[in-house]
Each structure stands twice: as C-alpha cells, then as structure tokens.
Structure 1
Amino acid sequence: MNQLALLFGAFFGLTAVIFGAFGAHFLKKKLSAEQLISFETGVKYQMYHAIVLLLLGFQLHQQLTLDNYIIYAFIIGIFLFSFSIYGLVISSAQNKKIKILGPITPLGGLFLIIGWGLLLYKYINL
C-alpha cells in the first residue's frame, strides 16, 4: 500500500468536486464558454488522475523506488496541469492573465505522460 498515493488521491478527488461545483455554479456566470470548457478540462483531468492515484495506492508499495516515481509523477502532473489551468482561466476572466502559467500546463501534462509511461514500464517488466 502507498499512503502518499491514497492521501493525494483523496485530496485531489475532494478538490476536484469542490472546483467542479465552483465552476458550475459560481464561474458559469463569469466565464466565457471557451473559458468554462478549459476550466472543466482541468477538473476532469484532476478527477481522472485522483482515481488513478487511489487505485495505485492499493497496488504500489512505498518501499519500491519505481513505484514512488510513478506516484510523484502523477501528483506533480495533476498539480501543474489542473491548477495552472484554474489560474489561467480565473486570471484571464479578471483581465489579469498570469502568463507564466501558460508554459506550466504542458509541463504538467508531461509529468502525467511520464507517470503513465513509468506505469506501463512497470507492468511490462513484471
């Protein structure tokens, strides 16, 4: 069992529901359709990967280095990808777009890809 994966999976699942409700009820009136779609993309990716972390938390072991790299890649990826989207969308809706967040989103996506790649590598080499 990997406690870190379970902890972050639960945290990211919780905050995905909160951000989803925030977007659907509060931001819906303040965002353009395009901005709302971007915000929802962040929420979806966060929830999908929160579920992955929870599943992996029961399968992977904290003592194995590769398992830890997989978990770290997903945690960093979720944070950089989804939270940079939230920041970009909310700041652009206020006409104060935080441009530095733009390059962070694909970096987060890269970490998610690395997490999936490491997971594939692990299961190929069982």
Structure 2
Amino acid sequence: MNKTIFGTACLLGMLTIILGAFGAHGLEKLIAANAITTFETGVRYQMYHVFLLFILGLLPSLPNSIKRLVFYLIVIGIVLFSFSLYFLALNDLMAFDFRKIGFLTPIGGTLQIIAWGILGYAFFKGKSNTFQDE
C-alpha cells in the first residue's frame, strides 16, 4: 500500500507543478484574473493533499484498511475538487459549459474533509503508537 500511496503522491505532485506553471505562465493572457485565482486554488489544495499522501505513506502503525480508505478519499477528492476548479477556471476557453459540473467541487472538498477526520480519529482512538505522549 505504501508504494501505491508514494507513487500516486509523486505523480500528483509532478502534475501539480506542471499545472501550477501552466496557470502562472500560460493562462495569464487567456483568462480573467478571478479565473486564474480559481485555478490557483485548485493547485494549492492539490499540493496540500499530495503532502498528506506522503505523510500517510510514512505512517507505519496505521492499519492498511485505514490507509486505503484515506488514500481513496484523498485521490477522489483531489480529482473532484481541484480538477473541477481547473475546468471551471478554463470555462471561457472550452466549448462545454463546465459550470454544469460545479457541484463536484464541494463533493470533492467534503471527501477530503472526511479523509482528514478519519485519519485524526484513527490516531486518537486507535491503537497506533506513532505519536506517543511523553
């Protein structure tokens, strides 16, 4: 499971850098400033959750069932949240009206919130000795 988590984090991290550079250098003359801000929000939250995936892969005493659940919630959350923001930001450049999929953004965010909650609960209520009070 850890290799899958790390591999996914690496791929999503590389994609985050590519998308961030594209947003900063390729979009500035193509879309409005508020659309660039929307795009940057997607990039920022994607990177936050890439870091969470790296941390998740480093937690040795977390049960694999919890790791797997958190992993899937984060990855699906990234796709729904960040990628819907990318498409919404690029809406004026596309033939399809991506505002029709705008409802996916809060669903993705909710999945990410749930993942953080499950991870926190697993630490505070589980038998994990990763963080021991001194």
Both structures adopt the same fold (TM-score exceeding 0.5): yes
CA RMSD across the alignment? 1.9
| Equivalent pair of 1:49/1:74 in contact (CA under 8 Å) | yes
Aligned residue type for 1:77: G
Aligned residue type for 2:100: I
Matches within 5 A, 1:34-113: 34-59=34-59, 64-94=64-94, 96-113=96-113
Task: Give the number of aligned pairs.
Answer: 126
| Equivalent pair of 2:62/2:122 in contact (CA under 8 Å) | no
Distance 1:34 1:93 in 2: 14
- Deviation of the 1:113 alpha carbon: 0.4
Secondary structure at the counterpart of residue 29 of structure 1: coil
- Deviation of the 1:64 alpha carbon: 2.3
| Equivalent pair of 1:88/1:102 in contact (CA under 8 Å) | yes
Distance 2:77 2:102 in 1: 14
Give the unaligned 5+ runs of structure 1. none
- Deviation of the 1:96 alpha carbon: 4.3
Secondary structure at the counterpart of residue 73 of structure 1: helix
Instruction: Pick closer, same or farther for the CA change 1:61–1:99 going to 2, 3 Å.
Output: farther
- Partner of residue 118, structure 1: 118
Counting helix residues as a fraction of each chain, which structure ranks higher? 1
| Equivalent pair of 1:62/1:68 in contact (CA under 8 Å) | no
| Equivalent pair of 2:31/2:92 in contact (CA under 8 Å) | no
Distance 1:8 1:92 in 2: 30
| Equivalent pair of 1:60/1:67 in contact (CA under 8 Å) | no
- Could you tell me the TM-score, scaled by structure 1's length? 0.90
Distance 1:60 1:99 in 2: 41
Question: Percent of counterpart pairs with the same letter?
Answer: 38
| Equivalent pair of 2:91/2:99 in contact (CA under 8 Å) | no
Q: Which of the pair has more CA radius of gyration? A: 2
User: Runs (4+) of structure 1 moved beyond 6 Å?
Assistant: none
- Could you tell me the TM-score, scaled by structure 2's length? 0.85
Instruction: Pick closer, same or farther for the CA change 1:58–1:97 going to 2, 3 Å.
Output: same
